[in-house]
Amino acid sequence: MKNLFIFLSTYFFLFQSMSAQTTVVLTTDYDAPIGYHDNYNDANTNYGTGLQNAAFVIHGNLGGLNVNRALIFFDLTGIPNGAEVTSAKLSLFAYGTLGPIQGHTGPNNSAVLQRVLQPWTENTVTWNNQPASSTQNEVILPASSVFNQDYIDIDVTLLVQDMLLTNNYGFIMKLVDETLTKALLFCSEDHPDSLKRPTMEVCFKRVTAIETANPSQNDFEIYPNPASSYLKIFCGQLFHSANSFIEIHALNGQLLKRVISNNPETVIDIRELTEGLYFIKLTSDNQSRIKKLFVIK
């Protein structure tokens, strides 16, 4: 019983030390409006120094449409490797009047934030070469209630987690319904009032490595560990085959999840797991390995 008490006390201490949260407030590193204006032939024009991050569709000055979207990038390299992002909140501040647009304009001017899938640069991106984006975990900005409404603490946690698991190329903002006439107008990184530039508050848990991330070609790695929402499994060569599968077991041996793994890397959603200790079992052909996983919430 004494040894069990020592183990549980150590386990509790590990959870306490690994659960300490750090909060950082990031300012946008660069952003760019992208757009086209019928009859002006400007779909290849770069507007990287624009003062606004806007999503709008209005009448063109010479007929047709004037359409705008916005790209926004935050540098996430300051978040330590292995840290687990627990929340990310984006704040966008109203721009006000922009030419003929009197601030946020409706009706039904809701917009969507999506994760960008390709690299882009502020001084070269245009409407015609804009990067692709993903609808996975996209976030809807509801229609505005007043023309100068700030959008504070937009929950982009899942998008940021995806960026850290894959590649970070930032956000794209565009209207859900790109038809006449509607607009959401926000200040960009180039706006003269620094207090109105985009910010993002990110909270993350610094983690102490329980297992050394140094897999050999005959082993496998789990990352991050501890984790709270998503887990990435790196399979060694001996475990990368058509017959590979991954299992998550509770301490009592109960099988909680089983995933077929035919790739060198597999991402598993573990958001339904409660805080505690689990075992990850990787099996391929007649071989298997087991590693401990700490889940923190």
The residue ranges of every structural domain in the chain are: 22-205, 207-295
Q: What is the pLDDT of residues 64-98, one digit of tens each?
A: 999 999 999 999 988 887 778 889 999 999 999 99
pTM of the full predicted structure? 0.73
Ordered DSSP codes for 166-185:
S----EEEEESS--SSEEEE
Radius of gyration of the chain measured on its C-alpha atoms: 23
pLDDT at site 13: 38
pLDDT at site 239: 65
Q: Yes or no: is domain 22-205 CATH 2.60.120?
A: yes
Ordered DSSP codes for 142-162:
PPPSSTT--EEEEE-HHHHHH
User: Which residues does the chain have with pLDDT short of 70?
Assistant: 1-20, 207-219, 238-240, 242
Q: In the CATH scheme, what architecture does the domain 207-295 have?
A: Sandwich (2.60)
Q: What is the pLDDT of residues 157-185, one digit of tens each?
A: 999 989 988 899 999 999 999 999 999 99
pLDDT at site 7: 35
Only one residue has tokens 């496998």, namely 220
